[in-house]
Structure formats: structure tokens, C-alpha cells
């Protein structure tokens, strides 16, 4: 077939090499577009439409839709075709489980299982399984890695099988780095070359912080594992044409302020602005004052400010970063291609038209934290003491006068714990461990602290979990690792640890003192998430901060300190030492970076990226087209999603006489719905594991067990801090079984309802499903028998995940909610308008009938936003839709 835009193909020269491109300037010559007015992200989408146009999946009309983008675009969907897919192991394992299960389903239907195979390049980075069980010692890293393999061997067998059995599928073994950092430093090419064509590197990833790659001009964002599977199998990712918010950066960061302080401010400002489901693009003179690492820090936290992506266009800094990370040849291709395609930002480039513009003056940024439980809740460092007093009274109903304190003996010393004591201080997560400026800064502060004779308080659990092996290399080269280690910040692993709940246990005397005295202790971490009970079940107040401040708070030992007026500690001679006395200057940091950071570090560390440790090499798997399921496994199980699959779907029906499984307030996160952290032995999931002979010490985490649906469905709505308004007197995964009025675990009630064939719904407030792109938050909801979720608003990824699992997201009409309609959750609900036929955003009728026979009728919006989402829902989900298409083709 002749390509509809064949005439736009031209050639670029890189040295002696010739590459073909779909030239956007040709479209401009035809009068289809004014490139300089389009935001850079829309230009990338336009190239994607043109290159993939086949008048089947992508039509000429789609090209015209994007070419004619307006600041207030009409509500139209486009079939976006990302170049590749990125997975981490927590979300990647269930993806591989689903693909393996799909192969079984295809075999049962008498077709070739090998039609289930990634058609797009897929990289899976194992980075979420390491836990901080050992810390504060030189052997912590080795012992944590050994323990990781002991706990996760079954999962790693599956991933090694996938690497052998699927084409286009690579696995980066454990102990290598954090997915986003590996993507930034190695996997991403910025411009890809395939079959003689050059085109922008674009991707979707099953981690919401996939957005980090936008820091170097690569368009990428997080999707649910369910959507990622569809993209892997060659399906478009359907998106509505986005609004693009321009963020104008002016000034530059003052002395003492860091990229972390900037990103926490950006997060606060943009959350207030409201950028959910919108693209954010940074421009203005301040952009040139930010390094690629600083930009990546800001791009990383797009999910926290609610945007689909936070994009920095390709410019000289991008080229500089590619050269720094040992990719000089790639930098040449990127430069020529981006300049030819109007994708390169110059200092004097025309400012595109944006839907709206927000301005941030970086010269006004001050040292900042965020907490105690949401990343957007900014607190200036100078205000933290007063803030925490308020938190104690308002959030935790604790009267701080007189302050409760508990004395315990720990490591042979008398230790005092109180409200506000720092229990965990972690340099962790992808947000900041990508950034040499703040990591070198943390090392320099540690050096100055040691030179002043300061130490970390003995009750603080300290850890260093960098995003890349390059980090420890340059910290060693700068001579800073010994100082960090002297303060207990030994290497514990290269992966996501504390930020995702893999903080490991607190020392037993510490945890006992906290729980027995109900102490409100704190964690300070350089992460991007601090939701309730995410970091550690016993640590109620969690604050995000730069690595430099993490070290400072570990020394201070408490959150409620005014660093401006109170000493951080005392030297051995009793002299006070203030934070300003040990804070490194920007000049010191810059000088150190220039001495130690060079391309050969990156080339050396990435030369053997796919090899793995001896533990990884020892795992042997058979080469087979079907995976051999172990029926006794509590880690990897064949899920029931494709049981009784028929080639044609059953038409959907109205939801009749449903009961409410739970009623929630605002800001229910995917952590609340599907926790990633520890498993309690008294919970349904814990009881299930004990019944199967798994000791408590081998429970691992929910995140590590995402390949086992029997565990995950029992953990759904099981977060210890979730508040079901049907059981207001308790926290945790409890509900009322309506027929008897009995209080029981949500899982147990759901199973009783399932036996009765009773459909279920969930009712919630605003921002339902914020947080990580956690497909199990939707899969678990589906497996519990929930047919619809009725909320005031949804976070982008979770709404599409619900649709992807065949669960209907319903939105209250503007100005209406559970309270205004007088709903308690104890009514019987019927939802009409589904059976007669669905279309995008159809208005449906809900009748809520209470026990006394009274009924209320109101209308809701079916949040199936596109015709494709309607098709997914009719088929029972994305996977069923794709599977049927593949079999029919």
C-alpha cells in the first residue's frame, strides 16, 4: 500500500549516513499546519500521526485533527502509536502473567499461541523488589540483594521465561538501577532509527513516573498495565487531543535552593491550577538555567501535579546530556533530526500557543518539604516546626503540650522517642536520585557534619538507594561515600525502596515503643510519594525533601526543629552547630561535579547492563511457548480473566439491585485501593498465605505478589489507613455486609455477595484513584465483583484502568455528590441506560432504594470518554478486546 503521506518523506545526512524522515515542514508547505504555533508535544504527536497513517488504524483525518490543534481543542480522540513500552517488575510481572494467560486462552480456542507476542520493543527493569531489611552497614547491599532473590525467585523465573519466549522483550536484572534512571541514562535514544527511518522516541510505561524522560525531550507517560499490554500487542493508545499548559520559568535558583525545592513548588502550584489529563510544557528563559537532571526531577513528578506529562523540548542541554552519558553518536542524530523537524528549542524560538500559561519565578524558591501525606502539600523549611504542631492537633488529635516522650534502651544506649521523632531518613526513589547536584550536595553536607563531630540519632533508620550504579561511582570518586556511610547512609540497593513501601522493618524496640505509645513519628525521604501508610505502617507523618535535607534531618533526629534558630546538633566540645554551618554552596557542588562526572563512568556501568549478578545467572528456565504454571505458587498464578472467553462478547446489561461495597471520601489513592507494602498476618491476604504454609517472615509485600490474583484480590481496599464511611469507627479494609448488618473485611463481604450473584458498586468523592498507575487497583476491584464506581472525579490513569477491566466509571453531575443526594451507601442501586446502548459520556439513570422503600433518582455521566472505550467496556475490557481481534485476524 502506498503511504498516504509518501510525499513528505525526505532525507537527512548524519556524516556519511542517510536517514529518511517524515518531514513536518512539508505539511507546512501544503498549508496544513503552522509549526511554530504548535506546542512541541503536539508537533511530536503530529509526526506520530503522519508516520503511522495507514487509513485503517490512523487516518488522514487524524493527521488533520492534530495539525489543526487549537489552544482549546475539540474533544476528539486520536490513535497514538508509541514507539516502545517500559515496564518495572511490580507492574511488569502482572503484564507478563496476562500475556502468558492469553497464550493459554488462544491455545484453548485452537489457535497459535505465538500470536501473543510483543510487536513493540519492551524493556522491563527489575527495580521494585529490593527491601531495606539491612541498613547502616557495609554488607547491607549484598544481604538485601541475597534476600531479594530468596523472596522473588518464582517471579524472576517467569521474567526469564518471558525474555526467552517473547520477541522484542528485554529484562534489566535486579541490582542495576531504577527504571526511570536506566531509561534516562541508557534505554532512551531521544530519536530512534528503525528500517532506515529516524523518528522521535516515544513511550508509555507501567509506572506513573515514566514522565521523567520528558526532561530530555522524550514524550512519555504512565499508563495502566492493561493499556500497556494493548500497546505491546500493536494496538494504538487512544487519547483525546490534549490541552497544553505552558509553564514559563524565569530567574534562577538562589543559593541554598535545590531542584527538589523547585519541583515541590511546581507540584503545589500546578495542583492548585488543575492540570489533570493535560500536557504541561516548560518554556521561558529559566529553562536554560536548569540542567538535564534538574529538568528530569521536575518531569518525574508530573503525576504528583496531575499532568499527563511535564515536557522540556530538545535543546543544547539535551545534546550535552547525551554526550555526558556516553552517547556522542546519538547526539549527532538527535541534533540534525530535531532541528530539521522544528523540534529543537533555541533561546529565541517563537513561543508556541498554549491553552493557558502559568509563570514561576525560580529566584523566589526557598528550601521546601511536602507532607505529611500528600506530595502537593508544600511546607517551607522555615515553617516546618509550626506546621507540625498544627498537624499533631488537627490531623492526629494530639495535644503537643506537654510533649509525650518515651525512654527505651536501644543498642546499649538510652534513647528518647517523642512525637515528631524521625524514624526513617531515606535517600531513595527516582525523583532525586537522578540528580548529581543534590546527591553530591548530600555527600558534602555529610562531610562537613562529620568534620564538625556530628552523628545521626541512633533511632533513625538511614538508607541510600540510588537510581543508578553511576551514582555510587561518582560519590566514591569524589571521596564522599565514607562520610555518608559514617552517618549510616550505606548503599542498601539500586532500586525503588522506601518511596514504594519497601522501607523494611523498623528495629523491634523502636517499633514497639511507637505502637505501644501511639507516637506520631516521621519519615523524611527524597521520594515523590508519601501517602498514608505507604512508607511504613507505623510512621504516620511522611515528608518529601531533598537528599541534602534528608541527611540534615537524620542528624537532627526530629521534624519539629527550626533550623534558622536551633542548632542541628553539638560538636564534642559542646559548641552548637547550625545547618547553615554545614550547608554546601552551589560553587562547591559545581566544582565537585566537574571533577568526577564524565562519560566513561556511564559507559563502564552500562556495558554489562543485561548480565545481572551471579544470583540472576543461576536461574535456569526452559524454552517453551506456554508457561508452566505451578499450582502451589503463591507468587505466580494463572488469573481468571480469560476463563470462558468466547469469540463474541455478551451484550452489556443494566446494573440491577446492586449493593454498595464501600463509601469513600476525597483523594482515595491507588495505594488505598491496592496497597504495595507489607501484608498483615491478620488480613485476608495474610490468612490466605498462612493457610498455604507461608510463614510471616516470607510474606514479602503486596507489590511483589502482583502475579498472584488470590493474594491481590484479598488485599484490595485493604490499606490500614483507608476509611470506609460505612464503618466510620474503624480504619482499614472493613465494611458492613448489608443483609445482616455484620461488620467484616471487604474481601469477605464481596465473596458472600458473589455467592448470591449480587452486583456491587463503590461510591467515592473527588480525585478517586490518584497516585501510581497501579493496574491491580482496577483488577482487584473487578475480581471483587464491583460493576461500577460512582465518584465526583477520577484521576486519569485509574479511570482508564477501570474501563480496561470492564468496570464502569460513573461521575456525579456537576454540583452533585453523595452528600447533596443524601446517599448513605446502605441503599439498593439500579443503573439504567447501559443495555439500550452506550456512547461516549452517555447520561445514565440511577435509582437508590433505601430499606424503608423510599427511592431517589439521579443522573450520572458514564465516563467512557471515547468510542474505543465503549468498545472495551462491551468486550469486558481491553485484554478481551485485543485477544478477540488478534484471533479474528
Question: Domain for residue 422, yes or no?
Answer: yes
pLDDT in tens, 204-226: 999 999 999 999 999 999 998 88
How many angstroms separate the Cα of 312 from the Cα of each of 207, 293, 335, 674, 854?
Answer: 20, 12, 15, 32, 56
Residue 90 banded pLDDT, cuts 50, 70, 90: confident
CATH number of the domain that residue 491 is part of: 3.30.499.10
Task: Report yes or no on 663 lying in a domain.
Answer: yes
Same domain, 439 and 575: yes
Residue 615 lies in a domain: no
pLDDT for the residue numbered 505: 92
Q: DSSP strand E in 190-334: where?
A: 191-194, 197-200, 202-205, 219-222, 237-240, 244-250, 279-283, 309-311
Q: 669 and 550: one domain?
A: no
CATH number assigned to the domain comprising residue 654: 3.20.19.10
Report yes or no on 248 lying in a domain. no
Beta-carbon contacts of 706 under 8 Å, excluding residues fewer than 6 positions away, are 90, 91, 93, 94, 712, 776
Q: Beta partners for 220?
A: 203
Report the pLDDT value the prediction gives residue 320, as an integer from 0 to 100.
Answer: 98
Check whether residue 381 and residue 516 sit in a common domain.
yes
Domain of 872 in residue numbering reads as 640-888
Radius of gyration in angstroms for the set of CA atoms belonging to the chain, rounded to a whole number: 27
CB 713 within 8 A of CB 749: no
Single residue among 22, 40, 69 that ends a domain in this structure: 69
* pLDDT > 90 fraction of the chain, expressed in percent and rounded: 87
Does 442 map to a domain?
A: yes
Same domain, 762 and 874: yes
Q: Which three cell numbers stand for residue 743?
A: 461488620
Q: What digits encode the pLDDT tens for the residues 638-695?
A: 999 998 888 899 999 999 999 999 999 999 999 999 998 889 999 999 999 999 999 9
Give the other-Cβ count within 10 Å of 131's Cβ.
27
Q: Which of left, alpha, beta for 423 (phi over 0: left; psi -120 to 50: alpha)?
A: alpha
Residue whose grid cell is 532500586: 495
Q: Give residue-wise pLDDT tens across range 306-354.
A: 999 999 999 999 999 999 999 999 999 999 999 999 999 999 999 999 9
| Distances, alpha carbon 424 to alpha carbons 99, 380, 411, 587, in Å | 38, 20, 17, 30
pLDDT score at 534: 86
Residue 696 shares a structural domain with residue 817? yes
Q: Which single residue is written with the C-alpha cell 536506566?
A: 182
Give the domain-ending residue among 545, 580, 597: 597
Rounded Cα distance between 269 and 316, Å, is: 28
Angle, CA 848 vertex, CA 845 and CA 852 arms, to 5°: 150
Q: Answer yes or no: is pLDDT of 400 > 80.
A: no
| pLDDT, position 199 | 98
- What DSSP letter does each residue of 672-706 carry, written as one string? HHS--SB--TTSHHHHHHHHTT--GGG--BTGGGT
650 and 576 fall within a common domain: no
Structural domain includes residue 308: no
Average pLDDT, the chain: 95
363 SS3 class:
helix
Please count the other Cβ atoms lying within 10 Å of the Cβ belonging to residue 660: 24
Top-confidence range, 32-46, 520-534, 700-714: 32-46
The reply to whether 537 and 654 lie within a common domain is: no
For residues 433-462, average pLDDT = 96
Strand partners, 655: 831
- Return d(Cα 335, Cα 12) in angstroms, integer: 11
Terminal CA-CA length for the chain? 18
Q: For residues 513 and 416, what is the distance between their CA atoms, to the nearest angstrom?
A: 10
Number of domains in the chain: 3
Taking the C-alpha atoms of residue 228 and residue 817, their distance in angstroms, rounded to an integer, is 32
List, in sequence order, the alpha helices (H) in 465-585.
Answer: 469-477, 481-486, 508-517, 547-556, 579-582
Domain check: are 567 and 438 in the same one? Answer: yes
User: What is d(CA 373, CA 388) in angstroms, rounded to the nearest whole number?
Assistant: 12
The answer for residues whose C-beta is within 8 angstroms of residue 541's C-beta and 6 or more apart is: 371, 372, 373, 388, 391, 395, 396, 420, 520, 521, 522, 523, 559
Q: DSSP 3-state assignment of 530?
A: coil
With vertex at residue 11, the alpha carbon angle to CA 7 and CA 12, rounded to the nearest 5 degrees, is 145
Instruction: Answer yes or no: is pLDDT of 773 > 80.
Output: no
In a domain, 183, yes or no: no
Predicted TM-score (pTM) of the model is 0.88
Do both 750 and 832 map to the same domain?
A: yes
Report if residue 139 sits inside a domain.
no
| Spatial separation of the C-alpha atoms in residues 597 and 578, rounded to whole Å | 30
pLDDT given for residue 473 in this prediction: 96
- Residue where one domain finishes, among candidates 69, 88, 112: 69
Same domain flag for 574 and 680: no
535 sits in the region (left: phi over 0; alpha: psi -120 to 50; else beta) called alpha
- Whether residue 558 sits in one domain with residue 492: yes
Q: Which grid coordinates belong to 241?
A: 487531543
Q: What is the DSSP letter of 668?
A: -
Shared domain for 574 and 653, answered yes or no, is no
For residue 366, how many other CB atoms are within 10 A of its CB? 13
3-state secondary structure 757-805: CCCEEEECCCCECECCCCCHHHHHHHHCCEEEEEECCECHHHHHHHHHC
Amino acid at each position: 500500500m502506498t503511504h498516504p503521506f509518501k510525499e513528505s518523506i525526505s532525507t537527512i545526512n548524519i556524516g556519511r549516513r542517510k536517514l529518511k524522515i517524515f518531514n513536518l515542514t512539508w505539511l507546512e508547505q501544503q498549508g496544513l499546519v503552522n509549526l511554530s504555533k504548535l506546542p512541541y508535544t503536539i508537533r511530536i504527536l503530529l509526526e506520530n500521526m503522519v508516520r503511522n497513517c495507514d487509513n485503517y488504524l490512523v487516518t488522514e483525518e487524524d493527521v488533520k485533527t492534530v495539525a489543526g490543534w487549537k489552544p482549546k481543542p475539540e474533544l476528539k480522540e486520536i490513535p497514538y502509536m508509541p514507539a516502545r513500552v517500559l515496564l518495572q517488575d511490580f507492574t511488569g510481572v502482572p503484564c507478563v502473567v496476562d500475556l502468558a494467560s492469553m497464550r493459554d486462552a488462544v491455545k484453548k480456542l485452537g489457535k497459535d499461541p505465538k500470536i501473543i507476542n510483543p510487536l513493540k520493543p519492551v524493556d522491563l527493569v527489575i527495580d521494585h523488589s529490593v527491601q531495606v531489611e539491612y541498613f547502616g552497614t557495609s554488607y547491607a547491599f549484598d544481604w538485601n540483594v541475597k534476600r531479594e532473590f530468596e523472596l522473588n525467585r518464582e517471579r524472576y523465573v517467569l521474567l526469564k521465561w518471558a525474555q526467552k519466549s517473547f520477541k522484542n522483550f528485554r529484562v534489566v536484572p535486579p541490582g542495576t538501577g531504577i527504571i526511570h534512571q536506566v531509561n534516562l541514562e541508557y534505554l532512551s535514544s531521544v530519536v530512534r532509527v528503525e528500517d532506515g527511518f529516524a523518528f522521535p522516541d516515544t513511550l508509555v510505561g507501567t509506572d506513573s513516573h515514566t514522565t521523567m524522560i520528558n526532561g530530555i525531550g522524550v514524550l512519555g507517560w504512565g499508563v495502566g498495565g492493561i493499556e500497556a499490554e494493548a500497546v505491546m500487542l500493536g494496538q494504538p493508545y487512544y487519547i483525546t487531543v490534549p490541552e497544553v499548559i505552558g509553564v514559563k520559568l524565569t530567574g534562577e535558583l538562589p543559593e541554598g535552593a535545590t531542584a527538589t525545592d523547585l519541583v515541590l513548588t511546581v507540584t503545589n502550584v500546578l495542583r492548585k491550577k488543575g492540570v489533570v489529563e493535560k500536557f504541561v510544557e516548560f518554556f521561558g528563559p529559566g529553562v536554560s538555567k536548569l540542567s538535564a537532571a534538574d529538568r528530569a526531577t521536575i518531569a518525574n513528578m508530573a503525576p504528583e501535579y496531575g499532568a499527563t506529562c511535564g515536557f522540556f523540548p530538545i535543546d543544547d542541554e539535551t545534546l550535552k546530556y547525551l554526550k555526558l552519558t556516553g552517547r556522542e553518536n546519538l547526539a549527532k542524530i538527535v541534533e540534525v533530526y530535531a532541528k530539521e523537524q522544528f523540534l529543537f528549542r533555541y533561546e529565541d524560538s517563537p513561543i508556541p500557543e498554549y491553552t493557558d500559561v502559568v509563570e514561576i519565578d525560580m529566584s523566589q524558591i526557598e528550601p521546601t518539604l511536602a507532607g505529611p501525606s500528600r506530595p502537593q502539600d508544600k511546607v517551607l523549611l522555615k515553617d516546618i516546626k509550626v506546621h507540625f504542631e498544627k498537624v499533631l492537633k488537627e490531623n492526629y488529635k494530639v495535644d503537643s503540650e506537654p510533649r509525650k516522650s518515651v525512654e527505651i534502651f536501644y543498642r546499649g544506649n538510652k534513647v528518647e522517642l517523642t512525637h515528631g521523632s524521625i524514624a526513617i531518613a531515606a535517600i531513595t526513589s527516582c525523583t532525586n536520585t537522578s540528580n548529581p547536584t543534590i546527591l553530591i550536595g548530600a555527600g558534602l553536607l555529610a562531610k562537613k557534619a562529620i568534620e564538625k563531630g556530628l552523628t545521626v540519632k541512633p533511632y533513625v533508620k538511614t538508607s541510600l538507594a540510588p537510581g543508578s550504579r553511576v551514582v555510587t561511582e561518582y560519590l566514591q570518586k569524589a571521596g564522599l561515600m565514607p562520610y555518608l556511610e559514617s552517618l549510616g547512609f550505606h548503599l542498601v540497593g539500586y532500586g525503588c525502596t522506601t518511596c514504594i513501601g519497601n522501607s523494611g522493618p523498623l528495629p523491634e524496640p523502636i517499633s514497639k515503643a511507637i505502637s505501644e505509645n501511639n507516637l506520631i513519628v516521621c519519615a523524611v525521604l527524597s521520594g515523590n510519594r508519601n501517602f498514608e501508610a505507604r512508607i511504613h505502617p507505623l510512621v504516620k507523618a511522611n515528608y518529601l525533601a531533598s537528599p541534602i535535607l534528608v541527611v540534615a534531618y537524620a542528624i537532627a533526629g526530629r521534624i519539629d526543629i527550626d533550623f534558622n534558630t536551633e542548632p542541628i546538633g553539638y560538636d564534642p566540645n559542646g559548641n552548637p552547630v547550625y545547618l547553615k554551618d554545614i550547608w554546601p554552596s552551589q560553587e562547591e557542588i559545581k566544582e565537585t561535579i566537574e571533577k568526577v562526572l564524565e562519560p566513561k563512568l556511564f559507559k563502564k556501568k552500562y556495558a554489562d547492563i543485561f548480565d545481572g549478578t551471579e544470583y540472576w545467572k543461576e536461574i535456569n528456565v526452559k524454552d517453551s511457548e506456554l508457561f508452566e504454571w505451578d499450582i502451589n505458587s503463591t507468587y505466580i498464578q494463572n488469573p481468571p480473566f480469560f476463563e470462558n472467553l468466547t469469540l463474541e462478547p455478551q451484550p452489556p446489561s443494566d446494573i440491577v439491585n446492586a449493593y454498595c461495597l464501600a463509601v469513600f471520601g476525597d483523594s482515595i489513592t491507588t495505594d488505598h485501593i491496592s496497597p504495595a507494602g507489607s501484608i498483615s498476618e491478620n488480613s485476608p491476604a495474610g490468612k490466605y498465605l498462612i493457610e498455604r504454609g507461608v510463614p510471616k517472615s516470607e510474606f514479602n509485600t503486596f507489590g511483589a505478589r502482583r502475579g498472584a490474583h488470590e493474594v491481590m484480590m484479598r488485599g484490595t481496599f485493604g490499606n490500614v489507613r483507608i476509611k470506609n464511611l460505612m464503618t466510620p469507627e474503624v480504619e482499614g479494609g472493613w465494611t458492613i455486609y448489608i443483609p445482616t448488618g455484620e461488620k467484616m473485611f471487604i474481601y469477605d463481604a464481596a465473596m458472600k455477595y458473589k455467592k448470591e450473584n449480587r452486583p456491587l458498586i463503590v461510591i467515592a468523592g473527588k480525585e478517586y484513584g490518584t497516585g501510581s498507575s497501579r493496574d491491580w487497583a482496577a483488577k482487584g476491584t473487578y475480581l471483587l465483583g464491583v460493576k461500577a464506581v460512582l465518584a465526583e472525579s477520577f484521576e486519569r490513569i485509574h479511570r482508564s484502568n477501570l474501563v480496561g477491566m470492564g468496570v464502569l466509571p460513573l461521575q456525579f453531575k456537576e454540583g452533585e455528590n453523595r452528600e447533596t443526594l443524601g446517599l448513605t451507601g446502605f441503599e439498593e442501586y439500579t443503573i439504567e441506560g447501559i443495555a439500550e446502548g452506550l456512547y461516549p459520556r452517555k447520561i445514565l439513570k440511577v435509582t437508590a432504594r433505601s430499606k424503608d422503600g423510599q427511592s431517589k433518582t439521579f443522573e450520572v455521566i458514564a465516563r467512557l470518554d471515547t468510542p474505543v472505550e465503549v468498545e472495551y467496556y462491551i468486550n469486558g475490557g481491553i485484554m478481551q478486546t485485543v485477544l478477540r481481534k488478534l484471533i479474528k485476524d
